Amino acid sequence: MRVLLVEDDEMIGQSLRQALGSHGWSVDWVKDGLLAQSALADGDYACMLLDLGLPKRDGVEVLRHARASGDVTPVLVLTARDGLDDRVAGLDLGADDYLVKPYELRELIARMRAVIRRRDGSAHSVIGSEQVRLDLTTREVMVQGERAQLSAREFSLLHALLERPGAILSREQLENRIYGWGEEVSSNAVDVLIHGMRRKLGPEAIRNVRGLGWRIAPSSPAALSVLPVATAPAPLSAVREAGAP
């Protein structure tokens, strides 16, 4: 899954991006509040990790602006400000969780999963149907009761599809969910991933809708008639080109 990291400390940012990447997260990293606002406007993120003490625009202002503009991206505040008033202010402004530095990576990832589950309206870490189940905690995929081995990219793509079973996700939407800034994306990258996933999940697990994209059928076939095509996000602008570290 793709996450936005907003952190001006070079050492913390580098180590966190590397650590999250090793756990299958695609991380876009910006170092000031103005770039954070631009990235949020252009990106499609599973969550944002937000430091408060930022140059150009404070993290509190970034959070306030995001919520005032209707952005519902889950926000996990990471900060050295450990005072009760700071925590309460951040949560009242719309932060989903608050973690004080220094923190353990395992706890950070667990809190990331939790705020994403709440956004998706689920208290459980397992999503999917009787045929395909995905455990966000253990990163296990079960296909009709049998464990399947997926790469990090395949896992992220399956997660994106299972979040909205029956809805059609375009090539651009899927690319934006699984690739970060500066990553080379070939024109058939999504096709290659889906081809490999069908071998593991079954040929009918992921269905192509010609000219529109891909979907996973919901549990009830009747639900397909009321699910719209997902609206494509705004294309990534100069932030993808110039905002990357």
Q: What confidence score (pLDDT) does residue 175 get?
A: 84
CB 34 within 8 A of CB 8: no
Mean confidence (pLDDT) of the chain: 79
**Does residue 9 sit in the same domain as residue 114?**
yes
**Does residue 21 sit in the same domain as residue 56?**
yes
pLDDT exceeds 80 at position 226: no
Which regions of 14-159 does DSSP assign to beta strands (E)? 26-30, 47-50, 75-79, 97-100, 126-128, 132-135, 140-143, 146-148
For residue 217, the domain's CATH number is 1.10.10.10
Q: What confidence score (pLDDT) does residue 124 get?
A: 58
**Does residue 108 sit in the same domain as residue 166?**
no
Give the C-alpha separation, 216 to 221, whole Å.
11
Best-predicted range by mean pLDDT (85-94, 135-144, 145-154): 145-154
Predicted confidence (pLDDT) per residue in 171-196, tens digit? 888 888 777 766 777 788 888 989 98
Domain of residue 31: give its range.
Answer: 2-120
**Does residue 40 sit in the same domain as residue 73?**
yes
Confidence bin at 218 (pLDDT 50/70/90)? low
**Does residue 155 sit in the same domain as residue 95?**
no
Q: How many domains are contained in the chain?
A: 2
* Structure tokens given for 179: 């690739």
In a domain, 20, yes or no: yes
In a domain, 237, yes or no: no
pLDDT exceeds 90 at position 122: no
